[in-house]
Structure 1
C-alpha cells in the first residue's frame, strides 16, 4: 500500500469535482487542519491519507461501506480501482461485493444510491521521531520511503528485524538469527493486543440471515449425536438444560453458493444441494477483496453516472437476484488453521460438577478450555485426533514435557451470570480472554508444532470440518453472540531469485495438466476445501508442495508486509531488495484521526467508530 500526504493536490486536468464534492472536500480539509494544529502541539507528526487496501481492514484505502441486505452485517469492500493514485476517476465502478458471513453477493447501485458511493481512505497521524527515541518493534505499523522510489511513501506492518532470517510458512512468520546458522527457526508470536486487532471475522451468530432460517438452510452450529442444544427461532442463540453428560455443539463453515443465493432470492426455493452441505475449511477470504466492477463507456464532464453508460449492458439494479459472482481466487486460496472462538455465556443455573468447555481444532488436534462453574477454575488441555493426551511446552529446566500438568488459572466464570469469553489458538499458543482481559495461566500455553500441517477428518471425528465447539455439563446456559475468527495468513510468495523462492505456496497444489489455467486451478482448490474425504490424499497439503520462503536481513534492514496479504505489494514482491533500510523510515503510524465522514444524522458527521489508535 502506498501512503500519500494529506496535502497532496490534484490538478484540474486530472480530476473535475462536482460543486457538492468540492464543498465537502473544503469542509473536511478545514476540520482536519484544526485537528492537526492541536495535535502537532503535543508532538512532531505528519498526516497521511491511505489510498489503497493493502493494509485492510486495519487501515482502509478508498472503499465502500456495505450493509449486507440478508444479514445486516456491515463490512468494507475496496474501491481503489475507481480512482487513480492522484484521485482522478478511472471509469471503473465497483458494482458488487460479498459479505464475509452470509457470502451473499450484493448489488451496489452506483447510479442512484449515494450510500453505494465510495469513500476516501483513512487519514492517519504518523510520529516522525518515534524511531529516533527507540528501535522499531515487530508488529509496528510503519511508514517509510519506498526502496528504489524514494518519492513514494508506503505503509506496512513490520515483521522482520535487522540481522534476522525471516521464514514465511503456513501463514505464520518464523525468525532465526542471521549470524548463527545452527539456530532453529522460532515462530514470531503476536502480543494479545496485536492479535485481537488482527483477527478477521469468519462468522457471527448475531447476523444469521432470516431468509436462510425461514427456508431451512443448515445451521452453522449443530448438536452432536445425543446432544440436546436448542436453537432460538431466529437461529442467533442456543440453550441447554442441565445433564449429567457434556452436551456438545460444533461449528462448521457452511454458507450458500452464488447459485443457491440466486435461486433463494429469485424463486424463493432452497436447492436440495444446500441441505447436503457439510462445510468447508476456513480460508484466507477477505470481504474487502471481493469487489467486482465494470467500466463506463464514456465519462461526462461532471463524472456523473447515467443509465446506459456501462460497457456491460446487463447491469440493471432492478433485475431480481444477487450481484456478480465472486472470482474463485478471491474466496481464499489457503487453509487458515489459526482460529479463535468468542461466546457470550448466560449461565442461569449451576449444579455440582457443572462445566463449560470451549474447543478449537487444528490439524486434528483438540484444544480445550474447561471452566469449573462452581469454582471459576479454567484448565487447558490438548489431545491428538485419537484422543491421546498431549502436553503444552514445559518451562525451561523442567522435566519431560509429557509429565507437565495442564495449565490452570482462576477466572470470574463462576456461578450464574453473563460471561464474555474468547479462546484463541494462534501462533502455536492458546490464549484465553474473560470479559475483555487476558487470563494468566500457571504454566506455558505454547506448544511445539510443525510449520506445515494438514487438515484432519474421519467418519468418526469431524476434526477440522468442525473446528470450533461448545460443551456444557450440569448447567443451564444460553450461548449468544457466537463469533468465529481467524488469524492473518501471510502468503509465502517472492520475486527474489533463488531456489525455492520463485513460487507461492499454492501454485503447485494440483497438477496443471489436470485442471487447466489459473481460474480452473482456483476452482479446483475450492473443491478440495469442500471435500474432507480428499484432504488426506490431495497433493495440496503435501509437505513438498506447501511452499515456504526466506528473506535475510542484515544490519539496519527491516522486512515489512501488508495486513491484506493476498493484495499487498510488500517486501515479498518488490523488484528492489526485499527490505527497508533504517534511513528510509519515516515513522510509526499512531492514530486514525479522521476516517471518511457520514452524511447522517447530519452532513459531515464524523465516523467516530473508526477513530483511534492503530494496533
Structure 2
C-alpha cells in the first residue's frame, strides 16, 4: 500500500473530496490561462501578425488601397490611399489612361503579414530582407522597409540601382520578380466605344488623354502585321534572310519614366528607367528563321537572338560597331516552339531566355561597366524576326527605381554605415519615408541619440516572411470581406544575390 493513499475495501467507492463541477471549471481556466501565456510568449518572441498601414512597400506589400479596372483597356491595378485627395487621379500602367472617377470603390484594407521576431536572434539580417523595425525618431512606431545596406558598408544610389562599396548589388531572382513593374501589356488594348469615350472625356490639364495608338511600329520597311483587327498577336511572313524590326515608340503615355501606378501623383518629374524586360510567346510554322529583341541602355543597343536552327546569341552595338558578347547552342525550334521568349537588362546583367534555355552576360559590377547615364540617352525596345512567326502576350516591364533626389546618399556623396547600423528603403521609392529622407537623430534610452538615416541593431523587430491576408472577398453584397483570397497569399522574399 503506497504512502498517502487510502485502500478501498471491496464494494466501496471513492469519495470525492471536492465539487467535480467546480474542478472542471478550474481545470478549463488553467488550460485557457496556459494557452494565453503561450500565445503571449509566441507573439512576443517568435511570430507576430502586422497590418500594412501605408503604400511605401507597394506593390510588394500594399497599405489601404483602391482596386481599380481601367475603363479604357480593362487592366486591373491598385491605387494607394496615401496621397489620395477627394478626387484621386488614377493612371493605368498599361494604356496610360488618366481616370478621375467621381465615385471610387470601397477602400480595401492593407495587407496582413507574419513577422518572425526570432529570425535575427540567430543570424544577421540579409540584404534585400523585408524588415519590421522601430522608427528611430519615434521608437513607439513600427516601420516596414527593405534592407539595402549593412554595418560597415558604403551605400550609393546610381541610376536607380544600389551600389555597396563601389559595386552594384543584384537582387535575388525572387525579389526581382516582385519588383518588375508594367510599362505596356499588349493583351489589354483600348478600342471602339471605350476609346471614343476616353477621348470625349479628355482633360486639357495635366491629365490629357489621347486616342490610343499601338506603340509598336514597323521600321526600315519591315512587314510585321500589327493591324487593329489582329493587334493582340503580331504576325510575320517574310523571307528567312530578311530581318524585320518592330520599334516601341516612346510617345506620351508609353514612355520609360519611373511612374508608379499605385501613387496618385500625375505631375511629378520622373527619371527614365533603362533596366527593362520584354516578354512574349513565339510560335513558328517554319524550321528556319530567327526571333530576337533589343534593349537600349546608355546609348548602347543590346540584342538577344534565337536562331531556329539552335543557337542563342547576345550582342551589342556601340554606334555602328557590333560585338558578340556570348553565345551557346540549344535544341532547335521544334523543341521550344510555343514557348516564352524574354530578354532583360537588370543590375548590369543581360539575360536571354527561350523556354527552359537561358543565356547570361555579366557586364561587370563597377559603376561605368554599362556606360554612364546621361539625360539625352533614351532607353529603347525593339523586336526582331525573320520567317513565318506569330508572337503574342507581348509585355514590357521596368525595374523599380531608387530615387537619388534625397538627403542621403547624395550623388557623389556616399553614405557609410558604422557598426550595428542598417540602411532601409521602401519598394515604392517616390513616397517611401525611409533612411534616405529621415530628418533628425534617432532617440535611444537614457538620452542616447542615433545618427540621422540609420536603424540601430537594437531597433530591428523581425523579418517579414508571409502575406496571409490581402484583398479578401465579400461572401455577398453588403457583407464584410471575410473570405480569404488564396491568390494573394505568398511568401515575402529577401536574401542575398547569387554573387555576394
TM-score range, shorter chain: 0.7 to 0.9
Matched residue, 1:536: none
| The one of 30, 49, 52 aligned to 1:50 | 52
Work out the CA distance in 1 between the residues paired with 2:324 and 2:145. Answer: 36
**After superposition, where does 1:194-593 map in structure 2 within 5 Å?**
194-211=175-192, 217-232=212-227, 233-243=229-239, 244-255=241-252, 280=255, 282-290=256-264, 327-329=266-268, 333-351=270-288, 354-375=289-310, 377-384=311-318, 386-390=319-323, 406-408=326-328, 410=330, 414=334, 417-435=337-355, 439=358, 441=360, 444=362, 446=364, 449=369, 452-454=372-374, 464=378, 467-473=380-386, 475-495=387-407, 501=410, 547-575=411-439, 576=441, 577-593=452-468
| The one of 144, 150, 156 aligned to 2:139 | 150
The normalised TM-score by structure 2 is 0.77
Work out the CA distance in 1 between the residues paired with 2:327 and 2:102. Answer: 53
- Select between 48-57 and 417-426 the one with higher mean Cα deviation: 417-426
Cα offsets for 1:215-245 (capped at 9, x unmatched):
9743211111211100251522200014121
Matched residue, 1:75: 77
The normalised TM-score by structure 1 is 0.64
Cα offsets for 1:461-510 (capped at 9, x unmatched):
xxx36x1111112x3111111111111111113336xxx94xxxxxxxxx
Structure number with higher helix proportion:
1
Work out the CA distance in 2 between the residues paired with 1:102 and 1:428. Answer: 29
SS state at 2:434 partner: coil
Cα offsets for 1:253-290 (capped at 9, x unmatched):
3346xxxxxxxxxxxxxxxxxxxxxx64x111011112
Work out the CA distance in 2 between the residues paired with 1:117 and 1:387. Answer: 55
Matched residue, 2:14: none
Distance 1:138 1:416, change over 3 A: closer
Contact 1:159/1:559, CA 8 A, preserved across alignment: yes
Contact 2:127/2:148, CA 8 A, preserved across alignment: yes
RMSD of the TM alignment (CA)? 2.8
TM superposition shift of 1:588: 1.0
TM superposition shift of 1:50: 0.5
**After superposition, where does 1:132-143 map in structure 2 within 5 Å?**
132-143=121-132
Work out the CA distance in 2 between the residues paired with 1:424 and 1:586. Answer: 36
Contact 1:79/1:94, CA 8 A, preserved across alignment: no
TM superposition shift of 1:147: 1.0
The alignment covers a number of residue pairs equal to 421
SS state at 1:439 partner: strand
Contact 2:87/2:102, CA 8 A, preserved across alignment: no
Matched residue, 1:607: 485
TM superposition shift of 1:191: 2.1
Matched residue, 1:96: 89
SS state at 1:368 partner: strand
Contact 2:314/2:324, CA 8 A, preserved across alignment: no
Work out the CA distance in 2 between the residues paired with 1:428 and 1:146. Answer: 33
| The one of 191, 199, 216 aligned to 2:172 | 191
Contact 1:494/1:549, CA 8 A, preserved across alignment: no
Distance 1:409 1:584, change over 3 A: farther
Structure 2 residue runs of 5 or longer lacking an equivalent are 1-38, 200-210, 442-451, 494-500
Work out the CA distance in 2 between the residues paired with 1:242 and 1:410. Answer: 24
- Select between 416-425 and 566-575 the one with higher mean Cα deviation: 416-425
Contact 1:62/1:79, CA 8 A, preserved across alignment: yes
**After superposition, where does 1:3-22 map in structure 2 within 5 Å?**
none
Contact 1:167/1:551, CA 8 A, preserved across alignment: yes
Contact 1:407/1:444, CA 8 A, preserved across alignment: no
TM superposition shift of 1:362: 0.9
Distance 1:580 1:407, change over 3 A: farther
SS state at 1:147 partner: coil
Distance 1:210 1:152, change over 3 A: same
SS state at 1:583 partner: helix
Matched residue, 2:11: none
Larger Rg: 2
Cα offsets for 1:513-537 (capped at 9, x unmatched):
xxxxxxxxxxxxxxxxxxxxxxxxx
Contact 1:362/1:455, CA 8 A, preserved across alignment: no
Distance 1:95 1:494, change over 3 A: closer
Work out the CA distance in 1 between the residues paired with 2:375 and 2:133. Answer: 39
TM superposition shift of 1:566: 0.7
SS state at 1:194 partner: helix
Contact 2:402/2:429, CA 8 A, preserved across alignment: yes
Work out the CA distance in 2 between the residues paired with 1:229 and 1:410. Answer: 26
Work out the CA distance in 2 between the residues paired with 1:485 and 1:221. Answer: 15
